[in-house]
Amino acid sequence: MKTLATLEPLTTRLLEIQRINSASSVLSWDQETYMPAGGGAARAEQIAVLQGLAHQKLVSPDIEQLLSQWVDPATGQAAEQPRDLWDEPSRSLLREVWRDFSRAKKLPSDFVMTVSRECSLAQQVWAEAKEQNTFARFLPNLRTVLSLKRQEAQYLGYTDSPYNALLDVYEPGSTIAALQPVFTQLKARLVPLLRRITESHVRIDDSILRHSYDQTRQLEFGRLVLTAMGYDFERGRLDLSAHPFTTSFHPTDVRVTTRVYERELQSCLFSCIHEGGHGLYDQGLDQRHFGTPLGDSVSLGIHESQSRLWENCVGRSRAFWRFFYPVLQQTFHNQLQGVDVERFYAAINCVKPSFIRVEADELTYNLHIMLRFEIEQDLIEGKVQPEDLPALWNQKMKEYLGITPTSDAEGVLQDVHWSFGAFGYFPTYTLGNLYSVQFFEQAKLEISRLEESIAAGQLLELRRWLEQKIHRWGRMFTPDHLARRVTGTTISPDPFLSYVEKKYGEIYQL
């Protein structure tokens, strides 16, 4: 039987490409954290050169010749029959390398460099526009990026909608047709639940979250929680950025960022936990396979499931705060004295429409995603133009959440994604919500007394379970296959909906 050793000539070349991509990622991380404002134009050129070089190496004749020895060029399947001539890791690696190669081959290298350059510049302008609260400042760059992404969809080819070509990049195999029934089911049960909560006699006072909280102490508490989760600070960092994110250069160097506001305790607290979930995934990838698909995350939906599992299933649970609330109370004694854990638990789970997606509650969060999902499709299909976005955004916020942003910064400019060309990314956030509950429910079945361990501040057993079940496999399995391996079933809205109906039914006495 042929094993990964057979593919060493291929994996050696892939490792070289990954090292170039990692160097590019370091530059991008620095751009979002410490780079002086004046360095933007030069940085865009540096990143573009590295991205172009990595692309050229991936689509080189050497890679194509190696692949053609082992893979059917039309299907990506191992060319030799019977299939059991190859072990499963080798078949998976060949399948995923072919997927990456065949997609990259459709994109000219000069186009890849142009996209990289323009997106790098657009990110910097977006940050300025958001700070200045002026969409017009960002509009020219957005027009350029959108035009390039429309062109990319044409290069890649698609069925039904050009948006499908971009969606497939982030969630392999996903399409509008596959997502719409899921979103429809969610909306059909979430909207009535939200209405019942709104009409409930229970009123939750979450004003305690908006007292004055020292920013340095907020960061210290965030580091404490990350350490308890198992995030390894010998292989990672916590820094500040305009929009929280996680980036990985290697499983031994995974970095997370947060943002901190004096009068918004939840912002730093839950972004640390959320990004920590991403960071644990990247630190848990198998180092032996670095540079190959087996050392890479399977999809953004699965990646997001890890952050949402930690942020919501763990971080917003009663069990978690039985241990961590006394620590938080000691850290902010003046602000939280006399506030018992039940009042705090209710405050962090208060349901109400809000403008900012990353700070939305578990119920309204998915409505934020539906809004963006619809707008993205229309943008890519040319039904909406960039200049229409502020008015359209506000219209849909009113339709979905019953509120209207009063500024571009809390409206159309709040997310960084479109600046770096990540059209097709947003739906993975909802998929992550659904996967997260399925995985957590399975963890509770397999880990004895898990919730009691969480209540004792012992989080490492859950982290180890996730690493063994999900992280270490990389792209060995497709997202659907991985979900079936872990939970016995494919993705479904039902576990998530049952979870929120039970949790919020109790909180709001429905």
Q: Give me the residues paired with residue 255 across strands.
A: 237, 247
CA dihedral 54, 56, 60, 63 (to 10 degrees): 20
Other beta carbons within 10 Å of 137: 17
Q: Give dist(CA 157, CA 105) in Å, integer.
A: 12
Q: What is the DSSP string of 278-321?
A: HHHHHHTS-GGGTTSGGGS-S-HHHHHHHHHIIIIIITTSHHHH
Identify whether 275 is a catalytic site residue.
yes
Helices 40-58 & 8-33, crossing angle to 10 degrees?
170
Q: Cα separations (Å) of 161 from 133, 183, 428?
A: 33, 18, 18
Q: Tell me if 78 sits within 8 A of 86, measured CB to CB.
A: yes
Q: In what order do the strands lie in the sheet containing 246-250?
A: 236-240, 253-258, 246-250
| Alpha carbons 132 and 126: distance in angstroms, whole number | 10
Q: Where are the beta strands (DSSP E) in 176-298?
A: 236-240, 246-250, 253-258
| Residue 256 near residue 279 (C-beta atoms within 8 A) | yes
Reduce the DSSP state of residue 459 to 3 states and report it: coil
Alpha-carbon dihedral of residues 431, 434, 436, 437, nearest 10 degrees? 180
Choose the catalytic residue: 32, 152, 171, 275. 275
Give me the residue label for tokens 């305790």.
Answer: 265
Give counts: helices (H), strands (E), the chain.
21, 3
- Residues acting as catalytic residues: 275
